[in-house]
Amino acid sequence: MFATLVNASLVLGTGLVFGYEALVTLRAPAGSFAGSVDPYWILLGAVPTIILRAAAALNLRRLPRQTRDMNLRGVFLHLTADFAITVLLLIDAALLLLRPGLGWVDSAAALAISAVLVVESLPLFREAWSSLSERMPAHLSVDKILRVARGVPEVEELHDIHVWSVCSSLVCMTAHVATRRLTVLEAMTVVAELKERMSSELGIVHAVFEVEEVSAGGEASQLANAHPA
């Protein structure tokens, strides 16, 4: 998570600085981002790059979705962004070949590339920060969790819910489960079904539940800690 956050911050910072320099250059009379530009050199670097990036991205897409953690998705996002940047460079080179006097095209391409870098970094930055701050993943909500939990027989209520993600492929939760008076074996059965439903329906792969008895007055008191393996 720390590596992803640092990586996203560096890409975001690079995009912002690159974009600022491109805007400054566009406003200059020369309008060229880096002086005289030879489009043949751009093509020489861009053509093999776009082929390699496309091949690498296609290979990553073959991996099962459940194995794509935050770092792997960051690699895929980088490859996709590199592909988009290379396409922009190809367009830049083609325009400069057709119209050599259009020096501003290079700066415009640099500005578009900076936008790609910023857009690339923001989702990773948000996801890494959410994991580090132990926020509930965006695709989950307390209402969804309660709806699934109440579908389990014997579950009266769920409270003290804490849901967080270690990474995108490992979502965890803890909660107190209010039930009628149960034996330890019955409580373990309820917890096992809760864990299975949370995993299959919501993607919460690691859950710990503390079972509590609902008294006659409707208040929950601790019955047992049932954490089956």
- Where does the pLDDT of residue 112 fall: very low under 50, low under 70, confident under 90, or very high at 90 and above? confident
Calculate the alpha carbon distances from 184 to 179, 181, 190 in Å.
12, 10, 10
Q: For 20-29, 168-177, 195-204, which range has the lowest pLDDT when averaged over its residues?
A: 20-29
- Give the per-residue pLDDT at 177: 92
- Where does the pLDDT of residue 83 fall: very low under 50, low under 70, confident under 90, or very high at 90 and above? confident
- The residue whose two tokens read 């200059």 is 28
Angstrom distance (rounded) from CA 195 to CA 13 = 41
Mean pLDDT taken over the chain: 77
Reading the block at residue 157, the tokens are 């209520």
Q: DSSP states of 16-35 as a string? A: HHHHHHHHHHHHSSS--SSS
- Tens of pLDDT, residue by residue over 90-108, are 888 888 888 877 777 777 8
- The residue whose two tokens read 């566009």 is 26
Q: What single-letter DSSP state applies at residue 163?
A: E
- Give the per-residue pLDDT at 189: 92
Helix, strand, or coil here: 215?
A: coil
Contact criterion met (CB below 8 Å) for 220 and 178: yes
Say yes or no to pLDDT of 3 above 80.
Answer: no
Order the strands of the 204-214 sheet from edge to edge: 155-167, 170-179, 204-214, 220-225
For the chain, the structural domain boundaries read 2-132, 142-225
Angstrom distance (rounded) from CA 115 to CA 97 = 24
* Averaged pLDDT for residues 152-156: 88
170-179 vs 204-214, strand pairing mode: parallel
Say yes or no to pLDDT of 14 above 90.
Answer: no
pTM reported for the whole predicted model: 0.52
Query: What CATH number matches the domain at 142-225, 3.30.70.20, 3.40.50.1260, 3.30.70.1350, 3.90.220.20?
Result: 3.30.70.1350
Say yes or no to pLDDT of 174 above 50.
Answer: yes
Partnered with residue 175 across adjacent β-strands are 209
Contact criterion met (CB below 8 Å) for 104 and 111: no
Say yes or no to pLDDT of 198 above 90.
Answer: yes
- Where does the pLDDT of residue 88 fall: very low under 50, low under 70, confident under 90, or very high at 90 and above? confident
Say yes or no to pLDDT of 208 above 50.
Answer: yes
Angstrom distance (rounded) from CA 31 to CA 39 = 16
Of the candidates 190, 209, 192, the one whose C-alpha atom is nearest the C-alpha of residue 200 is: 192
Of the candidates 204, 183, 184, the one whose C-alpha atom is nearest the C-alpha of residue 195 is: 204
Say yes or no to pLDDT of 218 above 50.
Answer: no
